[in-house]
Structure 1
């Protein structure tokens, strides 16, 4: 495809490979090898290339009629720093980072970096082939560990090499390769099948956690170079660990080295202030402009194509569905069109890659295909389940008798979409308390109920997601400048809790009734608990072949309980009990074969298997 056609596709919203056209690329022209720089800046009066190879003096770029500026330069070394010097129509001169840069200077510096991204040697062929056969993991186990790369663990032995005062105090951030060394064995030990990395697109402010980006094709240099991230993902795949990446299609930062008023005009955002600014002080992408659709579609394609990610989790989807995210406001037609257009393309091009919506609205058909009127996602976060469950567990047990609907309502709508059950980073920051600290009661009761929460989460239909630290029962809210409280593992109750989580995760991966019919309503039923208190719940899940049934029985009250399970062929046996002494419980368990009479301690539950 020739250059004119590629640029025309970009400008008309049809491109998903714009990263091959724009940015800095090796080229052979005029009988010489060099680097060609290309940028779209239709409103600029003039554009120059500046860099450490020019002494930061401007080299004039050539303008095409379509607003694309280019320059070919020989002898540009790998790792060279550069920017575009923009002269606006009003005569202002602003130096800009490259919107299509593959690598960026370490913050607080803001230059783009010339980087050859085409020559990493991948070793994950077996994983990629298996991924193609395990379509979207609908009928396979999936337990996701949400991770912030900069604060999972820190290096305290080499703090002198830290890049910020916070790192020198709290430990140096790990590189991508160091993270692979430590994280992969931990994920295998804990029993997670996937990690979900919070945004790694380049961003200026650590405290945004990556959700306010400047470089949509640039893996953040905080943790090393792009090949380092490729190696992390490659090694995860070789260890049979999937990798999901958070992406942010809604907005970008206003820092003037980035996309904001890029060439003096409004290239990526609306000229209408009411449709441009967000409550977070950021700027909305304007999806009425076809080239903006091409820009973001190409970004998503880039991360899948070059980094082999297994899924994309879209942030703040409700803001794209409704104007300003308000479900009572009008639908955001450009945002909806962007989602349908992009997801249709990705589903057709990468049918084995998962597309996940973080959507707090009740919009219908989020996980239906665009050709059937849906948005084209494969999964949606069930934020209703999360809010209702945590609200229920914050209540005094005596008040739970009148709130059974909070635990049961999720199954009334569960089959309307395809859900993931999230206990994410959003629930453990900004004064919301950590998961264990949200529970009603004293210290011991909080642990009893947190074990019960995770039992319910494991047994409930839907894939599961937990933020890092949840498995440690952290009481300190997450801080992006500090590593997790690994010292908690020296305390018996925390160590026992983590041992419980490990066992629960592995049950979720091993017991087929818990995953191979998750989205089949015929495989789930609530069980009657006659004579039991209102804080007792029971339900059953059946495997696809009908040969295995798992029962989840839970007592959210302060009194012991007994539940009679329905008669089945063969005996029930207990897989796990939250009150087991090895998990710091009181020791009321159901040993051996269970004929159908299940005893439960206060604030406890168990999983039982038949078949």
Structure 2
């Protein structure tokens, strides 16, 4: 709150803030730009500020002046227009009328709005004062260990009021949060919730980066949702989109009549795949807008991390562009030096100001050092989606089992690079839309085989090195593609086969979290050991993952054919009894209940370079997890 002794016409932005904003070095630009309740000369009101250096004039309009127009004052040293309005109140709506140099006039939404109307209104709302600097409400911190992420589209998970009515944050706090916690997930990841004009973009074309979408309620309601997530022992990740933005006239596009946030040259500033505009990462103020936004969600709401969308499109100037239709970098190459510097700056700021936050890159190329620290020349991410694993694994599981022996390497190749980055294994929303089919319908065979294959896919993923991500509805074995206009088909759980898949995901999550071997040495290549890697003819694979003690070991054996294999001998690290932790063919999960009666003893028979071995019955199209029984 400003001092009430300041005169009404005193500058809102001081000299130091003006310099920091002009240089793109303001850690928290949202504290000065946007709309801020304050007081002057003993009068309560709101200070407004907007960056538009090339505008000929900006006039403020809103509830407080009956939608008349008041000229704002330009601060030429930083290109920011500002105005204090006595009597303006929290909850009132406003817009900026921007006069361009060519004489055109456009009504614009505040880029720093913390709440906005949905189209066609698009006005910004004056929000209550911000939290103090550097205070994250209930951030739970960055901790090593298991990570099982439940990826959620807020509008279509469940619709408790009416099928045509979107849930609000309080609905999701009541229903989504306890469900995810009970299922054993450690994190909820929300598809982008920043304000976006087109619901069908799923949030990936945002116009209001500082505003939680009004579709789901107020910023205060979103804050309550975050608190509920943390109270349940979960962490929250937001999908974040700094790569591009839509061309909607009311938003960032040609904000002051020039290419302000975007590049002027369409070879740099227009994204051909999505018909969107690309941020000019080389402009200080634009970079400040985005870096500040990353810190804003973590510091103001206590969000635990960000998953950064479309990183590959940021890293390369020729991304999805034919020869001659892109601009090389200063060295004549294809790397986008400015975008790389931007991502590194994001991580430098977060490591310093919010070290508890995690970041995850959706990055599909072989760009080196995505999860290497900035100090070591990397981008600084904590984790990266393993798109190679995802593509190879889904391609393998889509094969009829009779052909799988010829494609054994699709499951083994991922271990050749598993420790080159810190990976998340994603079975995400991208794999169940746009004609790709649901995960269940990617599987070959009749209904029984489809369900069995899906169960074995999940058993394989959860045992494999890497953090886990599963898109909502996958635990229901949804037969249709995801549809953002409808809630998930929860009625499927009335069918034992679908209910069995849900029980399996529940047990996989809880067993994964309980097993030290499956996460404590995840970055240690010596903690993974192939036992059966060359039995392509029978499509059998086996590996062991080691923990801190011998009894921590977790043995995984997969039989990816519909043939039951009896007396299949697999070497194990030590003798004694072993118990089945997971059998994806269990009748509890809708399987045929072929297995090893839950427990078996090892024999002093050498196999696979081990002194002991187990004689196993391998269920059809199934994955087994076995663990030593303490003596």
Q: CA deviation at 1:529?
A: 6.5
**In structure 2, what is the Cα distance between the partners aligned to 1:594 and 1:53?**
78
**In structure 2, what is the Cα distance between the partners aligned to 1:15 and 1:446?**
54
CA 1:217–1:529 in 2, change beyond 3 Å: closer, same or farther?
closer
CA 1:532–1:589 in 2, change beyond 3 Å: closer, same or farther?
farther
**Alignment partner for residue 570 of structure 1, among 558, 566, 576?**
576
**Alignment partner for residue 235 of structure 1, among 207, 228, 252?**
228
Q: CA deviation at 1:276?
A: 1.1
**Alignment partner for residue 116 of structure 2, among 104, 107, 110?**
104
**In structure 2, what is the Cα distance between the partners aligned to 1:259 and 1:529?**
53
Ranked by relative contact order (alpha carbons within 8 Å, sequence separation 6 or more), the top structure is 1
**Alignment partner for residue 313 of structure 1, among 299, 307, 312?**
307
**In structure 2, what is the Cα distance between the partners aligned to 1:276 and 1:532?**
48
**Alignment partner for residue 84 of structure 1, among 77, 83, 96?**
96
TM-score by length of 2: 0.91
Q: Could you tell me which residue of structure 2 aligns to residue 557 of structure 1?
A: 561
- Match status 1:177 vs 2:170: yes
**In structure 1, what is the Cα distance between the partners aligned to 2:287 and 2:569?**
55
Confirm or deny: 8 A CA contact 1:117 1:226 kept in the other structure: no
**In structure 2, what is the Cα distance between the partners aligned to 1:598 and 1:73?**
77
**In structure 1, what is the Cα distance between the partners aligned to 2:590 and 2:439?**
18
The 5 A counterparts of 1:265-280 are 265-279=258-272, 280=274
The 5 A counterparts of 1:212-223 are 212-223=205-216
- Match status 1:7 vs 2:18: yes
**In structure 1, what is the Cα distance between the partners aligned to 2:271 and 2:294?**
23
Q: CA deviation at 1:576?
A: 1.2
Residues 101-127 of structure 1: CA distance to partner in whole angstroms, max 9, x if unpaired? 11111333200000115369xx997x6
Q: CA deviation at 1:6?
A: 1.8
Q: Could you tell me which residue of structure 1 aligns to residue 153 of structure 2?
A: 148
Q: Could you tell me which residue of structure 1 aligns to residue 196 of structure 2?
A: 203
SS at match of 1:323: coil
Q: Could you tell me which residue of structure 2 aligns to residue 165 of structure 1?
A: none
Q: CA deviation at 1:7?
A: 2.5
Residues 56-114 of structure 1: CA distance to partner in whole angstroms, max 9, x if unpaired? 22111111113211110011122111000011001111100000011111333200000
CA 1:205–1:567 in 2, change beyond 3 Å: closer, same or farther?
closer
Confirm or deny: 8 A CA contact 2:520 2:547 kept in the other structure: yes
Q: Could you tell me which residue of structure 2 aligns to residue 411 of structure 1?
A: 415
Q: Could you tell me which residue of structure 2 aligns to residue 501 of structure 1?
A: 505
- Match status 1:53 vs 2:59: no
Q: Could you tell me which residue of structure 2 aligns to residue 63 of structure 1?
A: 74
CA 1:368–1:219 in 2, change beyond 3 Å: closer, same or farther?
same
CA 1:408–1:232 in 2, change beyond 3 Å: closer, same or farther?
same
**In structure 2, what is the Cα distance between the partners aligned to 1:211 and 1:563?**
49
**In structure 2, what is the Cα distance between the partners aligned to 1:344 and 1:555?**
46
Q: Could you tell me which residue of structure 1 aligns to residue 530 of structure 2?
A: 526
Q: Could you tell me which residue of structure 2 aligns to residue 304 of structure 1?
A: 298
Q: Could you tell me which residue of structure 2 aligns to residue 16 of structure 1?
A: 27
**Alignment partner for residue 252 of structure 2, among 238, 259, 266?**
259
Q: CA deviation at 1:137?
A: 3.4
**In structure 1, what is the Cα distance between the partners aligned to 2:558 and 2:314?**
38
Q: Could you tell me which residue of structure 2 aligns to residue 322 of structure 1?
A: 316
TM-score by length of 1: 0.94
**Alignment partner for residue 587 of structure 1, among 593, 596, 599?**
593
SS at match of 2:18: helix
- Superposed CA RMSD: 1.9
Confirm or deny: 8 A CA contact 1:459 1:514 kept in the other structure: yes
CA 1:601–1:533 in 2, change beyond 3 Å: closer, same or farther?
farther
For structure 2, the residue ranges without an aligned partner over 5 or more in a row are 1-11, 324-332, 603-613
Q: Could you tell me which residue of structure 2 aligns to residue 162 of structure 1?
A: none
Confirm or deny: 8 A CA contact 1:124 1:234 kept in the other structure: no
Q: CA deviation at 1:564?
A: 2.0
Q: CA deviation at 1:586?
A: 1.2
Where in structure 1 do 4 or more consecutive aligned residues deviate above 6 Å?
529-532
- Match status 1:608 vs 2:626: yes
Q: CA deviation at 1:534?
A: 3.9
**In structure 2, what is the Cα distance between the partners aligned to 1:426 and 1:433?**
10
**In structure 1, what is the Cα distance between the partners aligned to 2:154 and 2:362?**
20
CA 1:323–1:552 in 2, change beyond 3 Å: closer, same or farther?
same
**In structure 1, what is the Cα distance between the partners aligned to 2:129 and 2:227?**
15
Residues 444-471 of structure 1: CA distance to partner in whole angstroms, max 9, x if unpaired? 1011011000001110011100000000
- Match status 1:351 vs 2:345: no
Q: CA deviation at 1:443?
A: 1.1
Confirm or deny: 8 A CA contact 1:358 1:381 kept in the other structure: yes
SS at match of 1:28: strand
The count of corresponding residues between Structure 1 and Structure 2 is 590
**In structure 2, what is the Cα distance between the partners aligned to 1:275 and 1:378?**
28
